[in-house]
Amino acid sequence: MPTKTINDEIDKEFEDILKNIAQKGILTIESIDRLSKLFSIEQISKVKEIMGEIVKVTFIPSSRIVWMKLGTDRDYLLYPKKYCSCMDFYLQGILKNRKYYCKHLIAQGIVAELTKKNPQSIEIVERDENFKEKVTQQLSFEHFLI
Ligand SMILES: [Zn+2]
């Protein structure tokens, strides 16, 4: 299945779905259905399991915030709606020079909405001096290894 380029129309629909998720406070079947039409069923079928692995790391005292998707063998760095360090994003976004949402970015968007009233549920607080150890060294930029 070819992946879709994110245009303004897709972006607007994604925003609307996210707003709906925030209002309801849960990920409804209707929202999953709309997301599957917007992106791909393959991507959306994996989003639910990824959601539990999305964390927001706040570094103190700088208040620097880093979103990450934690995994058993690798972690990914996420910049909401802009960048993910996974292979899919590299192949579909960076190499094709286009805006793209991988399953991690979709999951992050949903998690951010669902935790708006309770942000500490996904927050990890770290000291600034641990930034390198916690973020840089745990990241696997697998596409640099090909
Ligand atoms: Zn990704």
DSSP state of 52: T
pLDDT at 73 over 80: no
Ligand 1: centre distance to CA 63 (Å): 24
Ligand 1: centre distance to CA 20 (Å): 23
Q: 7-60 pLDDT, tens per residue?
A: 899 999 999 999 999 999 999 999 999 999 999 899 999 999 999 999 999 999
Ligand 1: centre distance to CA 136 (Å): 16
Ligand 1: centre distance to CA 42 (Å): 14
Please report the DSSP string for 122-139 in residue order. Answer: GEEEEEGGGHIIIIITTB
User: Between these two residues, 99 and 3, which has the higher pLDDT value?
Assistant: 99
Q: In the predicted model, what is the mean pLDDT of residues 114-121? A: 90
Ligand 1: centre distance to CA 92 (Å): 10
- Residue 90, classed as helix, strand or coil, is helix
Q: In the predicted model, what is the mean pLDDT of residues 74-93? A: 92
Helix axes 29-38, 8-24, angle to 10 degrees: 170
Query: Interior CA angle at 110 toward 104 and 116, to 5°?
Result: 130
